[in-house]
Structure 1
Amino acid sequence: MKATVTQNTYSSMTPWKMLAWLFATQVLVAFVGRSLAPLGVLIGHDLSLTKAQIGMLPAALFLGQSIAAIPVGYVTDQLGSKRLLLALAVCLGASFMFMTLTSFFILVLIMITVGGLGYGAMHPVSNRGIMYWFTARTRGTAMGIKQMGVTLGSALAALVLLPLANAFGWRPVLLGAGLLLIVVGYLTYLFYYDPPRENEIRKTNRGGFFASMKVMLRHKPLLLVSLAAVGLQGSQMMLNTYLVLFAYEKLAISLVLAGVLLVISEIGGSFGRVGWGVISDRIFNGRRLIILMLISIFAGFISIVISQLPTGTSFGVMAVITFIFGFCIAGFNGVWMNAATELVPREQSGAASGFSIMIGSWGVILGPPLFGLIVDKTGSFSAGWIFLSGILIVVIMLLLVAMTLVKKTNDNPKPSQLNY
């Protein structure tokens, strides 16, 4: 079922229809990939894993993401998004389905890592689609909607998969989730298509992989934004990892309500991914780096406020603070993806997205352990939250330098670069 698409078949709604398929795939990719967190306890019980081994499950996923980000970004620039959307759905869905057939921990980790290749491929593949379907004035909103699929899929995994797995076992439930992802991936392959102008550009832009990477490494603004993403990604994972423990152990909030705070932060992040995109499009005329700076400033301030909260702080007060914190630090992703892809020519957007994701992924790997080490050494969560705010100060400095470089090098900027 292949439709021949010409420029004349476009309508004003076509980009949004394509976004709907990108969003659906993003939700299912997160639904399956992020299932490791809520299902970790059940998987650990079934396989007799230690807590450290349970922690290795999501780490394996992000390892796969880090490995895949750059090469998939390059391949996306050559092949477009359509075929790769199906490929990544099959990669993630099938690997998790095979994972349910083994009880050997090492094989489980290998399958998760393979699945991480598909999980990590979703960002450069879908980001390139948005780059070509949307203009600079609507791209932030579109990217925010697409990125909201990550938090929505993650929330659905906790709300749907965990109760089902508790009732029927994690293996059949995860098997079904993987199959559902493949089905949605196939439907997306049938109904999503790349714009004709993208196909024309790909035919004339087939540079080598290493040449493409040299361009990325030499692009100082892109490198600086990617390094800033290390701090932002790390800060987001610090919040996700330690919010429940902080609320329970430091603020004396019940464990159930502490868990609700994590859900509130995810809800805030969902609103933030769309909200910051709309703000950057409508109020700041597409200026992404300024938005990232504002996010860092607000989140850094909130982190300092949290560090000073006394024992006995009410759930209501913490809920408001957590929502705002999540809106900022879990809502930056869409703006980051726009910033990374808009800093380079559109024909390099896939490589730029993969490059930035690969570097930014180190924040997920390094951030939470450093936060935990500081809390262990000082015996105080306050030191950890202050450390987080310090990281965001560094992020602000990196973004300031990036903005200065872009301003100097773009004497005759392209429309998509006017707003930095």
Structure 2
Amino acid sequence: MLGLAVFAQLSSSIVVNGMAFLIPQLRQQWNLDLVQSGVLVAMPLAGTMLTLVAWGAVLDRIGERLSLAVALAASTVCLIAAAFSESPVLLGGFLFLAGAATGCTNSAGGRVVVGWFPAQQRGLAMGIRQMAQPLGVALASLLLPAVADGFRIQGALGAVAIIAAAATVSCWLGVQNPARRARRAEPSSENPYLGSNFLVRIHLVSAILVIPQFTIWTFSLLWLMNDRQLPAALAGGVIALAQFAGALGRIAVGIWSDRLGSRVLPLRLVSLAAAAALLLLALTDWLNSPWSIALLVVASVITVADNGLAFTSVAEISGPYWSGRALGIQNTGQYLVSAVVPPAIGGLIGLLSFPATFAIVALAPLAATPLVPSRVVEQKASQAAA
């Protein structure tokens, strides 16, 4: 069950994040500037963002198996249509629809973990499930530029469609909906947003922490090739290494949170570490130090470590009849920010420089840290959800 959740999320990650690794081909094939390319990168993110809460409501009603199969099948069709697009406008439209369809996997995978694993194992299980996102990015960084070099952007999109089709069949054949406890006498009493601001604060923290994560994900290849002068193959290898390390990092912080019995304490420390890593990256890049490449890898690992912690916390506190919608709200905030990051940060890089942009982005995790709820607030929210 966990493996299927990982596969579904991995395919979604490639759909949503893969276009960032086709920026050089987009600029060459259609003569786009960096901001225009950033808009195309943002289209699947925007599509996902606008449907997350709706998918969450569908999941709360009909469960994971049917929702995942329909969503991934629709994404496959949209990707095939995108591969046959003859203009950037059509490409952007079909990428938007593919992202909208694949948004189901975000909440569905979280519900599978919380439904099938006990509390003392959820941090580890969610860390494994959440590693699908950086693994998807790593696979995209290795696969898509190479395919696009030989078969243009259309070939790269066809490869993504094949992966989505395989995930569709796997989920339809293998996913089982977890059992749910009986509903309370007053369904309104199950609303986790009443009487506590815990979930709202987690949503805000997670949305802010997307800024450094997507800055690194979107522009690392361009930075390595243009600023550090690495060849494309070596730059892709560095990114893949960073993403694999990030996947392992998510598992490590998940285990850590299980042993602490808290998701918020590790979340606060990860936020502070992300700020420090970005500031060091900015400094070493400004000094033209070769250590900046190593710090890019470190920053990449740290900036993805918060996702599993926050996701597990939201799923646990919201309960089985609200987790779909709560996780949808969680992801909507993240994707809203992630859709804005590529064009906004692309413009900032063009206006200033990479070092200055890294330093400015470091302010985001500094701002998020005091918003993380305390351990006492977490315990009260857990008791109310029991």
> Displacement of 1:248 after TM fit?
6.4
Among residues 292, 297, 301, which one is paired with 2:267 in the alignment?
292
Going from structure 1 to structure 2, the CA distance change for 1:137 and 1:273 (only over 3 Å counts) comes to same
Q: How far, CA to CA, are the matches of 1:35 and 1:242 in structure 2?
A: 12
Q: 1:185 to 1:206 in 2, by over 3 A?
A: farther
Q: Cα–Cα, structure 1 residues 192 and 394, in superposed 2: closer, same or farther, change >3 Å?
A: same
SS of the equivalent of 1:347 reads: coil
Which is worse superposed, 223-232 or 233-242?
Answer: 233-242
Contact 1:97–1:179 (8 Å) recurs in 2: no
| 8 A contact 2:56–2:324 mirrored in 1 | yes
Q: Say if 1:167 and 1:217 are closer, same or farther in 2 by CA, change over 3 A.
A: farther
Structure 1 alignment gaps of length 5 or more = 1-17, 416-420
1:78–1:206 CA contact under 8 A, matched in 2: no
2:140: which partner in 1? 157
In structure 1, C-alpha distance between the alignment counterparts of 2:328 and 2:42, rounded to whole Å: 18
Aligned residues with identical type, % of pairs: 21
- Give the match for residue 309 of structure 2: 335
Distance in 1 (alpha carbons) for counterparts of 2:185 and 2:158: 40
Q: How does 1:293-308 map to 2 (within 5 A)?
A: 293-308=268-283
Query: What SS does the corresponding residue of 2:287 show, helix, strand or coil?
Result: coil
Q: After superposing the two structures, state which structure 1 stretch, 215-224 or 271-280, moved more.
A: 215-224
1:142 to 2:116 alignment: no
- Could you tell me which of 256, 274, 288 is aligned with 2:251? 274
Moved more, 150-159 or 71-80: 150-159
Deviates more, 1:383-392 or 1:240-249: 240-249
Within a 5 Å distance, the mapping from 1:99-178 to structure 2 comes to: 99-178=82-161
Residue matched to 1:311: 287
Q: Give the letter aligned to residue 142 of structure 1.
A: A
TM-aligned CA distance change 1:171 to 1:303, over 3 Å: closer
Find out whether 1:354 has 2:337 as its counterpart. no
Contact 1:371–1:387 (8 Å) recurs in 2: no
The AA in structure 1 aligned to 2:311 is M
TM-score (norm 1): 0.81
State the alpha-carbon separation in 2 of the partners of residues 355 and 156 from structure 1. Answer: 27
Q: Structure 1 280/406 Cα, relative in aligned 2: closer, same or farther at 3 Å?
A: closer
> For the Cα contact (< 8 Å) 1:99–1:112, is it kept in 2?
yes
Could you give the per-residue CA deviations for residues 38-90 of structure 1, whole angstroms, max 9, x where no partner exists?
A: 23443554445444332222211111111111111111111111111111111
1:323 aligns with 2:297: yes
User: How many residue pairs get matched?
Assistant: 384
Aligned partners of 2:239 and 2:297 also within 8 Å: no
Cα 1:300–1:219, aligned 2, differ >3 Å: closer, same or farther?
Answer: same
The 1:185–1:396 alpha-carbon spacing in structure 2 relative to 1, beyond 3 Å, is same
Contact 1:33 1:92 in 2 (8 A): no
Aligned AA (2:314): A
Say which SS state the counterpart of residue 308 (structure 1) adopts: helix
Deviations 1:116-170 (A, max 9, x none): 1123221011111111011111111111111111222222223223323322343
Structure number, greater radius of gyration: 1
Q: 1:155 to 1:258 in 2, by over 3 A?
A: closer
Describe the SS at the equivalent of 2:119: coil
From the superposition, tell whether residues 100 and 383 of structure 1 become closer, same or farther in structure 2 (CA, over 3 Å).
closer
Q: Which amino acid aligns with 2:324?
A: G
* CA-atom RMSD in angstroms: 3.1
Give the structure 2 partner of residue 11 of structure 1.
none
Q: Would the aligned equivalents of 1:60 and 1:113 in 2 still touch at CA under 8 Å? A: yes
Change (3 A) 1:31 1:247: closer
Give yes or no for contact 1:82–1:192 (8 Å, CA) kept in 2.
yes
Spell out, residue by residue over 1:145-199, the C-alpha distance to the aligned partner (whole angstroms, 9 max, x if none). Answer: 111112222222232233233223432452353144223312221122112x23x
Q: SS at 1:103's partner residue? A: coil
Inter-CA distance 206–25: structure 2 relative to 1 (3 Å threshold): farther
Q: TM-score, normalised by structure 2?
A: 0.87
Is it true that 1:228 corresponds to 2:205 in the alignment?
A: yes
Paired with 2:74 and 2:335, the residues of 1 have a C-alpha distance of 20
